């Protein structure tokens, strides 16, 4: 099969949402419909002693939440689908932001009871910034929730995107009858089935079909009125406007009960984009470019704690990847060969012989990769758009067991390589400060350091407001910073200069006193910031 046909078969997307909207449950049900799994585990269910397939870390199983992006690949209707299930909790948002750099489209899950929530808005802003195509799934229609028309208005106002319903619910909660597929003029009758796939679908010749009255009685007229309202208010669905990120199609259903999921999946594979061109330091690279290239967007240590493995997840962007072939590591300027590349179903790995644009592959890593690294077929460019943001919470790392110092250093190095947190080190005294997006990350760090590396530690609060990277063209540009504020200067893992401000006021003064320096609150993972040690 030609590379163009392989590219057209690929659909690589992420599922994003606010916590508890049903994102991981929807992920499992998509796998159920694809045949990748045969029975779904209900997340946080006391009746089914089985956790979600995509939540495989022990702490995820204990807390019932996703704390890291999970990679799942499966086949459906002739398509190769690569699904990235992301953390919903805001404390792990940076992992989600990085994941969005590796996908071609997004499914956004919204709780029909709660509507648009704060984290949903933040995630959508990133999608809007990247012009990523988005499909919205309004979940939990088997519960008493908000009016569907009211939800659509809120989606448009809060998410700053036009919407177009492609399915419409009949009833809600206890009176929920099912959803009418506006795209195909079919009605799917609601059947409560949490674990296996059950379908009861009837095809109609539009909403004026007399068979609707036979099926729903007086409710048929209500459905006609709703559909007439929707078609009158919203313009016809335009695939090109969806692909350009202007319009988001909307579906209704209940992921827990497998309802509305098939309609979502069928429409997704038919309209979602195949891999597209991506920006590099030497211009855009098309997926059908004859030479292989890809970038690392995620690193996971101890995916299998028994084997202490470390996996770099690479998104293939162009050409064809082949096992046991030498490829060029651009940052290190060296060639590497991979004998055991893997595809994933969460933590389950299978050997991969070849991969094409859109695929996500796992490469066994001995510490040579960092997030943002690019592999090519010999060319020297780097992919752009893998972000690193300024943390919001800071703690000093202190060793609780001096006999386990090496284990702690190894563990914190591995976990910060994953992007779970950022580490800033002061040259004087080698003081280490850990910066994270939210408090929960410290719990995850402490848990994984102890259970995966045998290291115990404490995270001690410090007086810090904001961390920002400092760029400069000449050492004279930062003289004041080093002479007056040296006790607030650190280096990140890439040896980039970081200023850790105590307050908004101290940050503003530092910027005023060093006007030629650039204080940045986000940078690319492969950012070539000037190293101070090379210039001072």
Out of 43-52, 138-147, 506-515, pick the least confident: 43-52
Task: Name the band, by pLDDT with cuts 50, 70 and 90, for residue 42.
Answer: very low
Task: Name the band, by pLDDT with cuts 50, 70 and 90, for residue 56.
Answer: very low
pTM (predicted TM-score): 0.80
- Do 249 and 153 fall within a single domain? yes
For the stretch 402-455, pLDDT in tens is 999 999 999 998 888 877 789 999 976 689 999 987 788 898 899 989 988 899
- Do 324 and 223 fall within a single domain? no
Out of 58-72, 119-133, 382-396, pick the least confident: 58-72
Cα 49 from Cα 32, distance rounded (Å):
18
**223 occurs within a structural domain:** yes
Structural domain including 117 reads 3-81+102-271
CA distance readout (Å), 221 to 168, 207, 226, 524 = 14, 9, 9, 55
Residue 275 per-residue DSSP state: P
- Do 261 and 324 fall within a single domain? no
- Do 156 and 244 fall within a single domain? yes
Cα 318 from Cα 331, distance rounded (Å):
18
Closest CA to 16 of 145, 114, 110, 102: 110
Phi first, then psi: give them for residue 2, nearest 5 degrees. -70, 160
**94 occurs within a structural domain:** no
Cα 387 from Cα 452, distance rounded (Å):
27
- Do 264 and 319 fall within a single domain? no
CA distance readout (Å), 523 to 385, 415, 503 = 9, 20, 21
Please count the structural domains in the chain. Answer: 3
CA 341, 367, 318 angle in degrees (round to 5)? 45
Q: Are 114 and 22 in contact (CB under 8 A)?
A: no
- Do 392 and 503 fall within a single domain? yes
Closest CA to 222 of 214, 213, 231: 213
Mapping DSSP onto H, E and C, the string for 112-150 reads CCCECCHHHHHHHHHHHHHCCCEEEEEECCCCCCCCHHH
**137 occurs within a structural domain:** yes
**DSSP run (H or E) holding 506:** helix 504-513
Task: Name the band, by pLDDT with cuts 50, 70 and 90, for residue 200.
Answer: low
Q: How many Cα atoms within 13 Å fall on the side-chain side of residue 432?
A: 16
Tell me: pLDDT of 536 over 70. no
For the stretch 278-325, pLDDT in tens is 999 999 999 999 999 999 998 876 555 555 577 889 999 999 999 999
């Amino acid at each position: 099969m030609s590379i163009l046909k392989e590219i057209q078969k690929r659909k690589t997307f992420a599922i994003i949402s606010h916590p508890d909207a049903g994102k991981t449950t929807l992920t499992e049900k998509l796998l159920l419909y694809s045949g990748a799994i045969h029975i779904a585990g209900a997340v946080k269910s006391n009746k089914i002693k089985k956790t979600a397939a995509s939540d495989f870390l022990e702490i995820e199983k204990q807390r019932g939440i996703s704390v890291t992006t999970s990679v799942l690949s499966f086949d459906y209707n002739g398509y190769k689908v690569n699904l990235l299930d992301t953390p919903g909790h805001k404390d792990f948002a940076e992992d989600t932001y990085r994941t969005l750099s590796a996908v071609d489209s997004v499914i956004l899950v919204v709780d029909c009871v709660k509507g648009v929530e704060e984290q949903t808005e933040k995630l959508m802003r990133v999608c809007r910034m990247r012009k990523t195509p988005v499909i919205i799934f309004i979940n939990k229609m088997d519960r008493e929730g908000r009016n569907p028309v009211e939800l659509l208005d809120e989606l448009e106002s809060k998410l700053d995107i036009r919407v177009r319903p492609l399915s419409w619910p009949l009833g809600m909660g206890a009176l929920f009858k099912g959803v009418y597929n506006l795209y195909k003029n079919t009605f799917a009758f609601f059947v409560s089935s949490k674990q296996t796939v059950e379908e009861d679908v009837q095809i109609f010749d539009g909403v004026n079909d007399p068979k609707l009255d036979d099926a729903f009685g007086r409710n048929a007229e209500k459905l006609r009125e709703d559909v007439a309202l929707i078609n009158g208010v919203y313009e016809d669905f335009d695939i090109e406007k969806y692909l350009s990120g202007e319009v988001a199609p909307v579906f209704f259903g209940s992921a827990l009960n497998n309802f509305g999921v098939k309609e979502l999946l069928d429409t997704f594979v038919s309209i979602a984009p195949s891999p597209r061109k991506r920006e590099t330091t030497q211009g855009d690279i098309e997926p059908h470019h004859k030479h292989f290239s890809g970038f690392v967007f995620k690193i996971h240590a101890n995916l299998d704690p028994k084997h202490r493995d470390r996996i770099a997840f690479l998104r293939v962007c162009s050409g064809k990847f082949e096992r046991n072939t030498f490829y060029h590591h651009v940052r290190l300027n060296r060639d590497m060969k991979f004998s055991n590349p893997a595809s994933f179903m969460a933590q389950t790995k299978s050997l991969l012989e070849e991969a094409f644009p859109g695929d996500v592959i796992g490469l066994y890593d001995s510490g040579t990769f960092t997030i943002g690294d690019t592999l090519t077929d010999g060319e020297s460019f780097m992919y752009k758009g893998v972000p690193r943001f300024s943390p919001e919470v800071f703690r000093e790392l202190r060793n609780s067991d001096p006999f386990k110092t090496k284990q702690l250093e190894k563990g914190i190095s591995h976990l910060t390589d994953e992007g779970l947190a950022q580490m800033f080190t002061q040259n004087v005294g080698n003081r280490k400060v850990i910066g994270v997006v939210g408090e929960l990350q410290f719990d995850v760090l402490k848990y994984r350091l102890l259970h995966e590396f045998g290291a115990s530690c404490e995270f001690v609060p410090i007086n810090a407001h904001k961390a920002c990277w400092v760029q400069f063209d000449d050492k004279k540009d930062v003289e004041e910073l080093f002479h007056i504020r040296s006790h607030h200067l650190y280096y990140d893992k890439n040896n980039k200069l970081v200023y850790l401000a105590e307050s908004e006021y101290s940050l503003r003064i530092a910027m005023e006193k060093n006007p030629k320096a650039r204080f940045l609150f986000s940078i690319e993972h492969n950012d070539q910031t000037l190293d101070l040690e090379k210039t001072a």
